[in-house]
Structure 1
Amino acid sequence: MNIKPFPVAVVGLGPGSQPEDPDLAYMPLPREIDSFDQPTLPTSEEVEHLHAAKQVIAELIAQLQGYQGDAEVYPVQDISQLDAANRQLINQLLGEGEVSCRVKLLDGRELDMQESVFAGIWRVLESSADGQLLADRIEACPIPAPVWQAARAFGKGELDIPTLPDQLMNAGPVLTEIAAAMQNPGSEAHIINFSLLPMSPADMDCLDAILGPGNSGVFSRGYGKCRIMATSLRNVWRVQYFNGMNSILLDTLEITRIPEVALASEDDLADSLDRLQEAWQWLQGEY
């Protein structure tokens, strides 16, 4: 959602730290809806000299004002070259939100993504296969595109169903349903709810083995403990919700580009733009 020494103030690299606990850092489902908590900011006098960081924020706001919600083309600010003081202001402003993502690209590079306290505003750290930081970006979008692009590039386009053991209950029909949904994708996600199906442990073991692991995952601690993992099949995602004891509340499979629960909404981004403008005005001494 292993800890590398990045020069940014995200907890254990935020996205990287979450999936590393013994339970794969099951993403939290909230007991209550979280409200926006404006980060504590320095005074305008304290940051008067930090022109580079303030320029980044000003440009990001300008980009967001013209952003129409495209899933692949969206506002990006590369902050790799900022010095420590300017970077610290960015860290302080953005904070750390409830959602993180991790992607391993086919060439070995890794992307660790942490949503800020502004929904839909992401900090994206790109590392080489040997752990060297290559880039540090701010991206404004429903979810950074590599989360689903890399999963599609990695995943197989067809499901070949092997001969199954006779003792299985429903694994066979479920696999047939998955294969059909992959071949005939619709505009809406095709959802298979394991929590409502009579699936035996042997059924689930069989499905896990055939679906296989993917290279992309989303880990949320916002509106509920939730873990969204790509499988080895293109556009096939395992979506699980957990309670405070890490027991599964809801276990589903979604055949879709990216499960909707992973996305920041249009309203989220509009609200984040408003909040970001307020923070900017504070830094400018306009409050």
Structure 2
Amino acid sequence: MTRHVARPGTGNVPLLLNEIRHALTRLRDEGAPTTLDLTGIPMMPEDTHAFDASLGQGEVRAVVDAGGESEVQETGFAGVWRITHRNADGAVLARHIEVTHVPDILKSQPVDIAAGLERLAVRLAADLAPDLVADLTEDLDRPEEVS
């Protein structure tokens, strides 16, 4: 007779890992991203530890500072990202798993791209204008060659 030993915790870790497996399959086959909100899922500290250990850690980590720190960490599985949002005091506001090529928080938004383009144009004008003026002045001061 096989005896099953109950593990402490909620038992949600295998369920979450299986959901991530299905989401990764959808990403591979259909290109469809998935976000899992871990914030409302009951997990005891040992569940969180087991879950994080099961996912492992990948090579990419980014921190976004916008009204509080958001950490984006690639897991040991390509396409699976762990994202933790904190408030200005450092308290965890939300934890997500994004199954995607690149997490949305790392993608530049069109309005930000437009603003960046305007700032770059101003910087280029400020940086290049003195050189352009000097070049034009030099050309005006140089006598024309007669052929």
Where on the TM-score scale, by shorter chain, does this alignment land: which range? 0.7 to 0.9
CA shift, 1:223, in A, is: 4.8
Q: Deviations over 1:194-214 (max 9, x none)?
A: 111111112111111110111
> Any gaps of 5 or more consecutive residues in structure 2?
133-147
Structure 2: distance between partners of 1:208 and 1:244? 24
* Amino acid aligned to 2:111: D
Kindly tell me the number of residue pairs found equivalent between the two proteins: 123
* Amino acid aligned to 2:59: N
Q: State which structure, 1 or 2, has the greater radius of gyration over its C-alpha atoms.
A: 2
2:8 maps to which residue? 167
Q: Secondary structure at the match of 2:114?
A: helix
Overall identity of the aligned pairs, in %: 24
1:9 maps to which residue? none
Whether the 8 Å CA contact 2:23–2:33 is kept in 1: the answer is: no
Aligned counterparts, 1:229-240, within 5 A: 229-240=73-84
CA-based RMSD of the aligned residues comes to 2.0
Query: Is 1:199 aligned to residue 43 of structure 2?
Result: yes
Q: Secondary structure at the match of 1:168?
A: coil
Relative to total residues, which structure has the larger helix share, 1 or 2? 2
> Any gaps of 5 or more consecutive residues in structure 1?
1-163
Structure 1: distance between partners of 2:108 and 2:25? 28
Equivalent in 58, 64, 86 of residue 220 of structure 1: 64
Query: Is 1:177 aligned to residue 19 of structure 2?
Result: yes
Q: Comparing both chains, which one has the higher relative contact order based on Cα–Cα distances under 8 Å and sequence gaps of 6 or more? A: 1
Q: Secondary structure at the match of 1:179?
A: helix
Runs of 4+ in 1 over 6 A off after TM superposition: none
Equivalent in 36, 43, 54 of residue 210 of structure 1: 54
CA shift, 1:182, in A, is: 1.3
Aligned counterparts, 1:48-127, within 5 A: none
Please, what TM-score do these two structures have when normalized by structure 2?
0.75
